[in-house]
Amino acid sequence: MNVVAETLLTTPAPAAIWATLWILTLPAILLLANPEAMRNPWQALRSHLGEKRRLAVLEALAAKQFADEVRVAAERASLAAGRWQERWEQTTDEVSEAWQTWLDADARLRARRAAAGFGLPWSAQTPTEYAARERFLHRVVRAAAGDGWLPAAAVADALAGRGGWDPRLHPLEQELVIGRAAAGHLRDRYERAVAAERAARHDATLARRTSDSLRRECWTAAGRAADLRRLLPARTVATALAEQPAIA
Protein backbone atom coordinates (compact mmCIF):
# COMPACT_ATOMS: atom_id res chain seq x y z
CA MET A 1 0.00 0.00 0.00
CA ASN A 2 1.48 3.41 -0.97
CA VAL A 3 1.72 6.43 1.28
CA VAL A 4 -1.26 8.29 -0.22
CA ALA A 5 -3.62 5.33 0.17
CA GLU A 6 -2.44 4.68 3.73
CA THR A 7 -2.94 8.34 4.67
CA LEU A 8 -6.48 8.39 3.24
CA LEU A 9 -7.43 5.25 5.15
CA THR A 10 -5.94 6.21 8.53
CA THR A 11 -6.59 9.97 8.63
CA PRO A 12 -10.20 11.22 7.97
CA ALA A 13 -9.25 14.83 7.19
CA PRO A 14 -7.22 14.14 4.04
CA ALA A 15 -10.03 11.85 2.79
CA ALA A 16 -12.57 14.65 3.25
CA ILE A 17 -10.27 17.09 1.48
CA TRP A 18 -9.79 14.60 -1.35
CA ALA A 19 -13.56 14.17 -1.77
CA THR A 20 -14.07 17.93 -1.72
CA LEU A 21 -11.44 18.42 -4.40
CA TRP A 22 -13.06 15.71 -6.55
CA ILE A 23 -16.46 17.42 -6.31
CA LEU A 24 -14.91 20.79 -7.14
CA THR A 25 -13.19 19.34 -10.20
CA LEU A 26 -16.42 17.76 -11.51
CA PRO A 27 -17.45 20.90 -13.42
CA ALA A 28 -14.04 20.98 -15.08
CA ILE A 29 -14.41 17.35 -16.11
CA LEU A 30 -17.87 18.04 -17.50
CA LEU A 31 -16.53 21.10 -19.30
CA LEU A 32 -13.81 19.06 -20.95
CA ALA A 33 -16.33 16.41 -21.94
CA ASN A 34 -19.07 18.78 -23.07
CA PRO A 35 -18.79 22.60 -22.80
CA GLU A 36 -22.59 22.89 -22.92
CA ALA A 37 -22.78 20.90 -19.69
CA MET A 38 -21.34 23.86 -17.73
CA ARG A 39 -24.66 25.66 -17.98
CA ASN A 40 -26.36 22.96 -15.90
CA PRO A 41 -23.86 20.35 -14.71
CA TRP A 42 -26.40 18.39 -12.64
CA GLN A 43 -28.75 18.20 -15.58
CA ALA A 44 -25.84 16.97 -17.69
CA LEU A 45 -25.05 14.33 -15.10
CA ARG A 46 -28.68 13.18 -15.02
CA SER A 47 -28.72 13.10 -18.82
CA HIS A 48 -25.60 10.98 -18.82
CA LEU A 49 -27.09 8.52 -16.38
CA GLY A 50 -30.35 8.52 -18.33
CA GLU A 51 -28.46 7.73 -21.55
CA LYS A 52 -26.72 4.80 -19.87
CA ARG A 53 -30.07 3.54 -18.62
CA ARG A 54 -31.58 3.92 -22.09
CA LEU A 55 -28.74 1.98 -23.66
CA ALA A 56 -29.18 -0.76 -21.08
CA VAL A 57 -32.89 -0.93 -21.87
CA LEU A 58 -32.18 -1.10 -25.60
CA GLU A 59 -29.70 -3.90 -24.99
CA ALA A 60 -32.32 -5.80 -23.00
CA LEU A 61 -34.91 -5.27 -25.74
CA ALA A 62 -32.49 -6.39 -28.43
CA ALA A 63 -31.69 -9.52 -26.43
CA LYS A 64 -35.40 -10.29 -26.07
CA GLN A 65 -36.03 -9.77 -29.78
CA PHE A 66 -33.12 -12.05 -30.66
CA ALA A 67 -34.40 -14.69 -28.24
CA ASP A 68 -37.86 -14.52 -29.83
CA GLU A 69 -36.42 -14.88 -33.34
CA VAL A 70 -34.28 -17.84 -32.31
CA ARG A 71 -37.28 -19.46 -30.63
CA VAL A 72 -39.34 -19.17 -33.82
CA ALA A 73 -36.46 -20.58 -35.87
CA ALA A 74 -36.07 -23.46 -33.40
CA GLU A 75 -39.78 -24.29 -33.61
CA ARG A 76 -39.68 -24.33 -37.41
CA ALA A 77 -36.54 -26.45 -37.40
CA SER A 78 -38.21 -28.92 -35.04
CA LEU A 79 -41.20 -29.24 -37.38
CA ALA A 80 -38.89 -29.70 -40.37
CA ALA A 81 -36.91 -32.37 -38.51
CA GLY A 82 -40.14 -34.22 -37.78
CA ARG A 83 -41.12 -34.16 -41.45
CA TRP A 84 -37.69 -35.40 -42.54
CA GLN A 85 -37.91 -38.18 -39.94
CA GLU A 86 -41.26 -39.25 -41.38
CA ARG A 87 -39.80 -39.18 -44.88
CA TRP A 88 -36.89 -41.36 -43.77
CA GLU A 89 -39.24 -43.89 -42.17
CA GLN A 90 -41.30 -43.93 -45.37
CA THR A 91 -38.24 -44.64 -47.54
CA THR A 92 -37.21 -47.41 -45.14
CA ASP A 93 -40.58 -49.09 -45.72
CA GLU A 94 -40.18 -48.60 -49.47
CA VAL A 95 -36.79 -50.35 -49.37
CA SER A 96 -38.28 -53.34 -47.58
CA GLU A 97 -41.17 -53.53 -50.04
CA ALA A 98 -38.89 -53.20 -53.08
CA TRP A 99 -36.59 -55.89 -51.72
CA GLN A 100 -39.44 -58.36 -51.21
CA THR A 101 -40.92 -57.60 -54.64
CA TRP A 102 -37.55 -58.23 -56.26
CA LEU A 103 -37.21 -61.55 -54.43
CA ASP A 104 -40.67 -62.60 -55.62
CA ALA A 105 -39.80 -61.66 -59.20
CA ASP A 106 -36.57 -63.62 -59.02
CA ALA A 107 -38.47 -66.68 -57.76
CA ARG A 108 -40.93 -66.42 -60.66
CA LEU A 109 -38.04 -66.11 -63.10
CA ARG A 110 -36.42 -69.30 -61.79
CA ALA A 111 -39.71 -71.18 -62.18
CA ARG A 112 -40.12 -70.02 -65.78
CA ARG A 113 -36.57 -70.97 -66.60
CA ALA A 114 -37.24 -74.46 -65.31
CA ALA A 115 -40.37 -74.71 -67.47
CA ALA A 116 -38.54 -73.43 -70.56
CA GLY A 117 -35.83 -76.06 -70.11
CA PHE A 118 -38.04 -78.76 -71.57
CA GLY A 119 -37.77 -77.19 -75.02
CA LEU A 120 -40.38 -75.15 -76.80
CA PRO A 121 -41.14 -74.32 -80.44
CA TRP A 122 -39.35 -71.14 -81.48
CA SER A 123 -41.85 -69.56 -83.82
CA ALA A 124 -45.52 -69.67 -84.67
CA GLN A 125 -46.51 -72.12 -87.36
CA THR A 126 -49.66 -70.39 -88.70
CA PRO A 127 -50.99 -66.80 -88.88
CA THR A 128 -53.71 -67.70 -86.39
CA GLU A 129 -51.17 -69.03 -83.93
CA TYR A 130 -49.03 -65.93 -84.47
CA ALA A 131 -52.00 -63.63 -83.77
CA ALA A 132 -52.82 -65.57 -80.60
CA ARG A 133 -49.25 -65.30 -79.36
CA GLU A 134 -49.22 -61.58 -80.13
CA ARG A 135 -52.43 -61.03 -78.14
CA PHE A 136 -51.02 -63.06 -75.29
CA LEU A 137 -47.83 -60.98 -75.26
CA HIS A 138 -49.73 -57.70 -75.21
CA ARG A 139 -52.03 -58.92 -72.44
CA VAL A 140 -49.32 -60.19 -70.09
CA VAL A 141 -47.11 -57.13 -70.63
CA ARG A 142 -50.01 -54.84 -69.78
CA ALA A 143 -50.77 -56.89 -66.68
CA ALA A 144 -47.13 -56.84 -65.55
CA ALA A 145 -46.91 -53.08 -66.08
CA GLY A 146 -50.18 -52.61 -64.17
CA ASP A 147 -48.77 -54.58 -61.23
CA GLY A 148 -45.61 -52.48 -61.26
CA TRP A 149 -43.39 -55.34 -62.41
CA LEU A 150 -42.55 -53.54 -65.65
CA PRO A 151 -42.27 -49.84 -66.54
CA ALA A 152 -45.11 -48.25 -68.49
CA ALA A 153 -42.82 -47.86 -71.50
CA ALA A 154 -42.69 -51.66 -71.84
CA VAL A 155 -46.31 -51.68 -73.04
CA ALA A 156 -45.55 -49.36 -75.96
CA ASP A 157 -42.44 -51.40 -76.81
CA ALA A 158 -44.41 -54.66 -76.80
CA LEU A 159 -47.14 -53.22 -79.02
CA ALA A 160 -44.49 -52.01 -81.45
CA GLY A 161 -42.52 -55.26 -81.31
CA ARG A 162 -39.30 -53.58 -80.17
CA GLY A 163 -37.06 -53.74 -77.11
CA GLY A 164 -36.76 -57.52 -77.23
CA TRP A 165 -40.50 -58.23 -77.33
CA ASP A 166 -41.11 -60.91 -80.00
CA PRO A 167 -44.74 -62.03 -80.53
CA ARG A 168 -43.56 -65.11 -82.46
CA LEU A 169 -42.27 -66.76 -79.28
CA HIS A 170 -44.17 -69.47 -77.47
CA PRO A 171 -46.20 -68.12 -74.53
CA LEU A 172 -43.93 -69.82 -72.00
CA GLU A 173 -40.92 -68.31 -73.71
CA GLN A 174 -42.64 -64.93 -73.69
CA GLU A 175 -43.25 -65.29 -69.97
CA LEU A 176 -39.54 -66.03 -69.54
CA VAL A 177 -38.67 -62.80 -71.37
CA ILE A 178 -41.17 -60.91 -69.21
CA GLY A 179 -39.69 -62.51 -66.10
CA ARG A 180 -36.19 -61.38 -67.01
CA ALA A 181 -37.39 -57.85 -67.75
CA ALA A 182 -39.43 -57.71 -64.54
CA ALA A 183 -36.54 -58.95 -62.37
CA GLY A 184 -34.22 -56.33 -63.90
CA HIS A 185 -36.78 -53.54 -63.49
CA LEU A 186 -37.54 -54.46 -59.88
CA ARG A 187 -33.84 -54.71 -59.08
CA ASP A 188 -33.35 -51.19 -60.43
CA ARG A 189 -36.32 -50.00 -58.36
CA TYR A 190 -34.81 -51.55 -55.24
CA GLU A 191 -31.47 -49.84 -55.88
CA ARG A 192 -33.23 -46.50 -56.35
CA ALA A 193 -35.14 -47.07 -53.12
CA VAL A 194 -31.87 -47.75 -51.29
CA ALA A 195 -30.36 -44.55 -52.67
CA ALA A 196 -33.47 -42.56 -51.68
CA GLU A 197 -33.39 -44.05 -48.17
CA ARG A 198 -29.72 -43.14 -47.80
CA ALA A 199 -30.38 -39.54 -48.90
CA ALA A 200 -33.43 -39.27 -46.61
CA ARG A 201 -31.41 -40.58 -43.66
CA HIS A 202 -28.73 -37.96 -44.32
CA ASP A 203 -31.30 -35.17 -44.56
CA ALA A 204 -33.11 -36.34 -41.42
CA THR A 205 -29.85 -36.46 -39.47
CA LEU A 206 -28.87 -32.99 -40.65
CA ALA A 207 -32.32 -31.59 -39.81
CA ARG A 208 -32.19 -33.13 -36.33
CA ARG A 209 -28.75 -31.66 -35.66
CA THR A 210 -29.91 -28.24 -36.86
CA SER A 211 -32.98 -28.45 -34.63
CA ASP A 212 -30.90 -29.45 -31.60
CA SER A 213 -28.41 -26.64 -32.23
CA LEU A 214 -31.16 -24.03 -32.54
CA ARG A 215 -32.86 -25.37 -29.41
CA ARG A 216 -29.64 -24.92 -27.43
CA GLU A 217 -29.19 -21.44 -28.91
CA CYS A 218 -32.78 -20.65 -27.93
CA TRP A 219 -32.14 -21.61 -24.31
CA THR A 220 -28.98 -19.50 -24.20
CA ALA A 221 -30.62 -16.46 -25.79
CA ALA A 222 -33.67 -16.72 -23.52
CA GLY A 223 -31.43 -16.91 -20.44
CA ARG A 224 -29.42 -13.86 -21.49
CA ALA A 225 -32.59 -11.89 -22.23
CA ALA A 226 -34.03 -12.81 -18.84
CA ASP A 227 -30.82 -11.78 -17.04
CA LEU A 228 -30.74 -8.39 -18.76
CA ARG A 229 -34.43 -7.78 -18.15
CA ARG A 230 -34.10 -8.53 -14.42
CA LEU A 231 -31.57 -5.71 -14.13
CA LEU A 232 -34.15 -3.14 -15.21
CA PRO A 233 -37.36 -1.92 -13.59
CA ALA A 234 -40.49 -3.12 -15.37
CA ARG A 235 -41.67 0.48 -15.76
CA THR A 236 -38.40 1.44 -17.44
CA VAL A 237 -38.74 -1.38 -19.97
CA ALA A 238 -42.37 -0.47 -20.66
CA THR A 239 -41.39 3.18 -21.22
CA ALA A 240 -38.63 2.18 -23.59
CA LEU A 241 -41.02 0.01 -25.54
CA ALA A 242 -43.42 2.91 -25.91
CA GLU A 243 -40.62 5.22 -27.05
CA GLN A 244 -39.24 2.80 -29.61
CA PRO A 245 -39.66 4.19 -33.16
CA ALA A 246 -41.86 2.19 -35.50
CA ILE A 247 -39.99 -0.05 -37.89
CA ALA A 248 -40.83 0.74 -41.48
When pLDDT is averaged across residues 231-243 and rounded to a whole number, the result is: 56
Q: How far apart are CA 37 and CA 34, in angstroms?
A: 5
Identify the weakest region by mean pLDDT among 159-173, 174-188, 199-213: 159-173
Residue 136, in any domain of the structure = no
Residue 131, in any domain of the structure = no
Residue 99, in any domain of the structure = yes
Residue 202, in any domain of the structure = yes
Which pLDDT belongs to residue 236? 53
pLDDT category of residue 248 using cuts at 50, 70 and 90: very low
Backbone torsions φ then ψ of 47, nearest 5 degrees: -65, -40
Residue 58, in any domain of the structure = yes
Query: Can you state the angle between helices 153-160 and 127-146, rounded to 10 degrees?
Result: 170
When pLDDT is averaged across residues 222-237 and rounded to a whole number, the result is: 71
The CATH number linked to 225 is: 1.10.287
Greater confidence (175 vs 53) lies with 175
Identify the weakest region by mean pLDDT among 17-31, 48-62, 68-82: 17-31
Residue 73, in any domain of the structure = yes
Which structural domain range is residue 188 located in? 53-120+170-242
Greater confidence (157 vs 93) lies with 93
- Report the number of distinct structural domains present in the chain: 1
Residue 213, in any domain of the structure = yes
Which pLDDT belongs to residue 118? 60
